[in-house]
Amino acid sequence: MLEGIEDFLLIFYALFLPVLLLFIYKGISSLNRETFEFYKSLGAEPKGYRRLIYPMAELSYGNERIILSRGRRYGGYIFTASIDMPFSGLLRLWKGGFLDALFHKRRYDGLFLEYEDAGWAWNLLRDETFKEEVLKLFESHRIVLLEIKGGSIVIGFGIGRGKLEKYLNKQDLIEALNSLVQLKKILEKYPYYGSSKEKLREWLTWKLPILITLSLILVGALGGFYDYKPMCFLDLMLTGGKLLSFPVILYVVFTALLVGGEALYSRVILKTFSVLFVCSLFISLIFVSYINGRFDSSQPEIREDRIKEKYRTLKQGYRVTLEEYHKNKWWCDSFIVSEEFYKKANVGDKVDYVVKRGYLGVEWWYEGLGLKK
């Protein structure tokens, strides 16, 4: 029965997966063509793709050059228009949801607020003309984001997955672009003379942790971590979590103190911790597994047990549960075995296997399960 289902799934994936991928490709290509047509209807010139995915265009608006793009941000689809300015500061205003209300306490007329330099930001935010233009953007033109960052001003419109005409009224868009130009003129009265830490913030919150993780994964892979397979993956992950918890906390605190701020601590801490949490899983799975086996000097131990249960699933394959081992380690999963072993073994049969204790205390397979004669 299971063999027939597996054969059917193999045929299904072989026949229909390429067709599905083709439909996805055609859908993306069609959407991109429609996006470029929308740009042309505004008088904008297509300029390729941002991050190799999102269609971009350049619009000449008076003496200004405005970059138009669509993409994803904050978990949703967004259409952005950005204009260059001669200095770099950091100020972000956006409409948010429940999680924003939970973690971001600073507000500006109902909008969530982030900034790096409080003195510069509030001089700008108290400007009545600036406030008027900002509120007009958010109230009248479906704007969900206003960001001053990296030498540019960006406004973002909340959109869906389909055609831009469904979500953007051209007249409203033109008026919003006019407000964008006006904001630049206001900003020129409040130049930012400090040095922004946004690039350093990006490096510390996610780029550096990912780079370190990839380096450790490479070391583990080249060292043959797969030769030191742990008997219980949960034990490995818990051990990795214990080893990495202090460095993670120390790194988060260091990053928050170095590139945080009164309006940025929440984002910096949450982002850094989330990235490090995911990185820790991969480091534990590969690098910690490698260290645990490579530096293990313990002697192999021969153990005997009995098969308590055997079963097979489509996703997990052939598996067995042992009486003594899984009674003492109930949190550990059953063991994967070969089809040959599975067919020969019966519930109640004696088995033996060889393990080593592990440099970090995580037992790993030295020799796999064998039926005891």
Mean pLDDT in runs of 10 for the chain (373 residues)?
A: 58 71 76 88 89 88 90 81 89 86 82 92 94 89 87 90 85 90 92 86 96 97 95 95 97 95 90 96 97 96 94 86 92 91 93 96 95 81
Distance, C-alpha 183 to centroid of its chain? 32
In angstroms, the CA 193 to CA 89 distance is 8
| 310-333 core/surface letters (b: 16 or more CB in 10 A; e: else) | beeeeeeebbbbbeebbeeeeebe
Dihedral pair phi/psi, residue 90, rounded to 5°: -135, 115
In angstroms, the CA 169 to CA 125 distance is 28
The angle that helices 128-140 and 118-125 make with each other, rounded to 10 degrees, is 80
In angstroms, the CA 118 to CA 106 distance is 12
Kindly state the DSSP code that residue 226 receives in the 8-state scheme: G
User: For position 350, what pLDDT does the model report?
Assistant: 95
In angstroms, the CA 245 to CA 273 distance is 11
> End-to-end CA distance of the chain, in Å?
31
In angstroms, the CA 279 to CA 302 distance is 35
Query: Is the Cα torsion angle 100, 104, 110, 111 positive or negative in sign?
Result: negative
User: For position 362, what pLDDT does the model report?
Assistant: 96
- Token pair for residue 72? 């994803």
In angstroms, the CA 320 to CA 334 distance is 6
351 within 8 A of 371, measured Cβ to Cβ: yes
Residue from 56, 92, 91 nearest 74 by CA = 92
Residue 119's contacts (CB-CB under 8 Å, 6 or more residues apart) are none
Model confidence, pTM: 0.85
